Chain A
């Protein structure tokens, strides 16, 4: 069956495009995801990815590139979340819940109003086997922009994630870095629309990054691992999607989850298995004394 899949990849251009696009999505989600989970922003990642929907709809209506609309509504939602939690007693997680559901609901209404060929189902859940060349290229360009930004500002992203107080004391604009990361997040979400869709993109952001987090104690290793795990998830997911005719977003996410469970059990330092064995040996040693 794997041979059939490989033959199909060689044979069909649509499958090659699907594979390339989903591998790129695996890389960029994996990289940005590391910063999302280290800053404790998993919920924020979910929110911003949903908040992209009205922006995509508006862009279709106005006939502009949908990255522009997506970044606009994504950032607007991020600003709204920050504004509400800073200016009232509403806690941050609640503020996130209020704002992103509002954005998402407006997106659904806008798309219904359009009555165009844009399929809500495909935006929400992705359909990587139908990816168009133009979409593949825009994913590639977004990928390059995101990776370059992380490469250039690695030092600043590291210190503002690890010790925001020191970062701010020596003059880094930490609030601007936060919104900059949110902007990158909206770009990544739009780039992932075709592959996993809006609803499941958060899994590609946090699951491979968390798997990597269980495997290393160095940030740069974590970033490479997370990107690699994202790519593997995409390949496995696409294989199951193609072979059993299942929704690509769902199979990719489940592949990522399977890899996470492996790390959760077998990770040399953090894994369930070794920790159990270690504590068992400790008890043995004590009982022998």
Chain B
């Protein structure tokens, strides 16, 4: 197996405050990985630096052996729902069509075949009958499925999702996780920022446990243990998990 992502000695700060310190890990291809940790642990920061949206102070990141810059078009990003303006005048279909933009390049417009492909992606997430709706008219789970369809439309080799299950109904959550597992089985790498510990062990192969530093990384059964989790969550959740 090739390394999908290798992060070496990564440090990031905002205005002199550390967000991530000396983080190193290597992710193999074809894995479904959760990034977990308490609030303010740097989960979203890690995702953003992997997407080259913020600058790192130190360290190196390689995606499939290349720089992020070279690989940015084959990486798809599903934003947190709170980052989207749901009143924007755009339909479900046109939202998914945006997924074809990265590979179109400047000046070219989406053609019939791109529309057909976007429709296929919408069918995949079970949202094709809503294609002419304005995106704000959908429920939270439906909105998240539309953005997953947009990511699929990009035909990437790697998927980054930021808290995709927040405010999402059970049906949508199951649909989304089954698609993510299918992508993994087809050799794609899927990285999910996740905050709900209860499902973490069912959903992911491997976990990245963060709290500014990398606390633990590895197979779920090795990371998802009270004594390991406690090191990240200190005393916050020890009573809930029944540890100590």
| Chain A residues in the interface with B (C-beta under 8 A) | 38, 152-153, 155-156, 158-159, 161-163, 165-166, 168-171, 213, 216-219, 221-222
Contacts and interface: CB of A to CB of B under 8 A. Distances in A.
Task: From A152, A156, A163, name the one whose CB has the most chain B CB atoms within 10 angstroms.
Answer: A163
A169 B89 contact: no
B204 interface: no
Contacts of A165: 53, 77, 79, 83
B73 A170 contact: yes
A152 B109 CA distance: 10
Contacts, number: 65
Contacts of A168: 53
Interface of B: 51-53, 69, 72-73, 75, 77, 79, 83-85, 88-91, 94-95, 98, 101-102, 104, 106-107, 109-110, 134, 154
Contacts of A218: 89-91, 94
| Chain A at the B interface: SS class | helix
Contacts of B51: 169
A166 B77 contact: yes
A38 B84 CA distance: 12
A169 B77 contact: yes
A152 B106 CA distance: 9
Given A162-B88, A166-B77, A166-B98, 6 more contacts: A152-B107, A155-B110, A159-B101, A169-B72, A218-B91, A222-B89
Contacts of B101: 155, 159, 170
A3 to B, nearest CB: 39
B90 A171 contact: no
21 contacts: A155-B101, A155-B109, A159-B98, A159-B101, A161-B88, A162-B95, A162-B98, A163-B83, A165-B53, A165-B79, A165-B83, A166-B77, A166-B79, A168-B53, A169-B72, A171-B72, A217-B91, A217-B134, A218-B94, A219-B89, A219-B90
A169 B98 contact: no
A218 B94 CA distance: 9
Contacts of B95: 162
A163 B69 CA distance: 19
Nearest to B78: A166
Contacts of B104: 155
